[in-house]
Amino acid sequence: MLLPHFKSAKAQRIKRCKLVLTDSRLQNSTFQKLLQDFNSLTERLMDLTNKEVTLDRTYKLSDLDTRLSKLCKQSEFSQILLPFEKYMQPTLPLNSDSNSSAGSHLPASHSTANWFPYQQIYISGFQESVLILRSAAKPKKLTIRCSDGKDYDVLVKPKDDLRRDARLMEFNGLVKRYLHQDAPARQRRLHIRTYAVLPFNEECGLVEWLPNLASYRSICMNLYAQRRLVMSTRQLQSLAVPLHESMERKREVFTKQLVPAHPPVFQDCL
């Protein structure tokens, strides 16, 4: 929560964040060591995130940043929690009244004595393979090795303010909570699959990687390809309307040429 402020480009935010961290209750050696290691890990991840790379290829982590892997291998390195939603977000009761119908649907692990029902998993290192995704921002897919012996994927994304994405996930979490409170919604298994978004500052951050996930664009492009409706880059460029043209001309090209060439297809994937 404090990370976007601690690494902010705004001096006032940094000052207020440091003021919170100077509280006397936080001045024990264990917490200070954790804070120092967390800050070091964040700086290494920020450097890796903003590293200039070639699009759509795989790198070795050691070629991009030699210090990141070495940092986690230090014998005294603090236990830093894997930044995934289910480990960071408390699992709250759905209703304050334990006798209510909504509360009766809660499993035992959701009792007030256990806000974090999942076993805590800590970062122990990183895999060497770093995949650069095909996107203008060139985000990087990393694989984190964890204390449970398993690997977990994350996405580090430069040139983007992920604070808005984080707030959207908070809103989606509320919607998901209300869906679970509603009996008809539960019967239909309506839910929103949310994920962790961890902004480093105003310009970059880390996103939990969801397996078996396809983007809306990739789904539609595959469906268009199956129907042989894909327009080439040259065709799209030929339809581009200069900025100085009137709005009527732009609207005409969009409604009479682009829209007919891209009919609705998303319903076919459901």
Distance CA 142, CA 144 (A): 6
Average pLDDT, the chain: 86
What is the average pLDDT across 197-220? 90
pTM of this structure: 0.75
- Main-chain dihedrals φ then ψ at residue 122, nearest 5 degrees: -115, 155
* pLDDT of 113: 53
Among 197, 191, 223, 221, which residue's Cα sits nearest to residue 210?
A: 197
Beta carbons within 10 angstroms of residue 103's beta carbon:
15
Among 152, 194, 155, which residue's Cα sits nearest to residue 173?
A: 194
* pLDDT of 108: 47
Question: In DSSP terms, which residues pair with 255 in a beta bridge?
Answer: none
Reported as a pLDDT band with limits 50, 70 and 90, residue 238 is: very high
Tokens of 206: 């880390």
In the predicted structure, residue 150 carries a pLDDT above the cut 70: yes
% of the chain with per-residue pLDDT over 90? 50
* pLDDT of 103: 43
* pLDDT of 1: 60
